[in-house]
């Protein structure tokens, strides 16, 4: 903990906007909603800036809050009967951002079809490179649950990839 560290809001936005936006986008699948979540997360950071003690604390705080906000947004959408990822799945990931690697886009589209706890664990693992312990701390979930979500998510994704991507490769 470095008590001498003085948080600079603008610098924190510069450093972490890509991470916050990417997590929100991969969790919700909607660019507009992800941008809105990213804005809200940074404004919440601004309100809590006095409690942030170090750059690492800021990074972990942002990860935790963006995952919570994204989960809340998904819950709200589900209550309203909108499933953002259904549209996304139909377009195989191409809806929210065209990618140069179509196979990657397919894989990312398949990732989007996973249940949200598994998706959250995989996004934190492979986008952020976190260990299961760090993911558990970020999601405030038991370590065993996180490990199970990672294993099940990866297994499910592999199975989906085997069937879907074979079709895709045959089709191209």
Partner 1 sequence: MGLEPMDDFEHELQQIMLRRPAPPGLKRKIMARKRANDTQKIHQRVVFWQRLAASIVLCGAVGGGVTWHNVQERRKGEAAREQVMVALRIAGHALNQMNEQLAEHNEEK
Q: Report the interface residues with partner 1, using CB under 8 A.
A: 9-10, 13-14, 17-22, 25-26, 31, 35, 38-39, 42-43, 46, 97, 99, 101, 104-105, 107-108, 111, 122-123, 125-127, 129, 131-132, 147, 150-151, 154, 157-158, 161
Task: Indicate the residue among 82 and 103 with the shorter CB distance to partner 1.
Answer: 103
Least Å distance between CB 49 and partner 1?
A: 10
Q: CA 20, 23, 24, 26: dihedral to nearest 10 degrees?
A: 150
Task: Indicate the residue among 39 and 77 with the shorter CB distance to partner 1.
Answer: 39
Give the CA distances from residue 154 to residues 21, 64, 87, 118, 170, in Å, rounded to whole numbers and listed in that order: 23, 22, 22, 8, 23
Question: Is 68 strand, coil or helix?
Answer: helix
Least Å distance between CB 126 and partner 1?
A: 4
The candidate with the shortest Cα–Cα distance to 103, out of 28, 152, 171, is 171
Give the DSSP per-residue string, 150-162.
HHHHHHHHHHHHH
Least Å distance between CB 147 and partner 1?
A: 6
Q: Where are the alpha helices (DSSP H) in the chain?
A: 9-28, 31-47, 55-79, 84-90, 102-111, 116-126, 132-139, 143-171
Least Å distance between CB 29 and partner 1?
A: 12
Cα separation, 1 vs 57, whole angstroms: 8
Least Å distance between CB 1 and partner 1?
A: 26
Task: Indicate the residue among 73 and 122 with the shorter CB distance to partner 1.
Answer: 122
Task: Indicate the residue among 131 and 163 with the shorter CB distance to partner 1.
Answer: 131
Task: Indicate the residue among 79 and 100 with the shorter CB distance to partner 1.
Answer: 100
């Amino acid at each position: 903990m470095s008590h001498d560290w003085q948080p600079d809001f603008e610098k924190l936005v510069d450093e972490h906007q890509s991470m916050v936006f990417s997590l929100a986008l991969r969790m919700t699948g909607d660019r507009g909603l992800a941008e809105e979540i990213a804005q809200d997360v940074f404004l919440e950071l601004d309100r809590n800036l006095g409690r942030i003690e170090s750059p690492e604390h800021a990074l972990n705080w942002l990860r935790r809050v963006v995952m919570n906000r994204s989960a809340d947004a998904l819950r709200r959408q589900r209550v309203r009967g909108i499933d953002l990822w259904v549209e996304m799945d139909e377009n195989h990931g191409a809806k929210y951002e065209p990618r140069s690697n179509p196979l990657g886009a397919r894989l990312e589209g398949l990732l989007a079809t996973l249940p949200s706890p598994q998706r959250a664990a995989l996004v934190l693992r492979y986008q952020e490179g976190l260990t299961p312990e760090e993911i558990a701390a970020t999601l405030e979930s038991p370590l065993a649950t996180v490990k199970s979500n990672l294993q099940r998510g990866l297994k499910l994704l592999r199975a989906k990839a085997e069937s879907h991507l074979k079709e895709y490769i045959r089709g191209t």
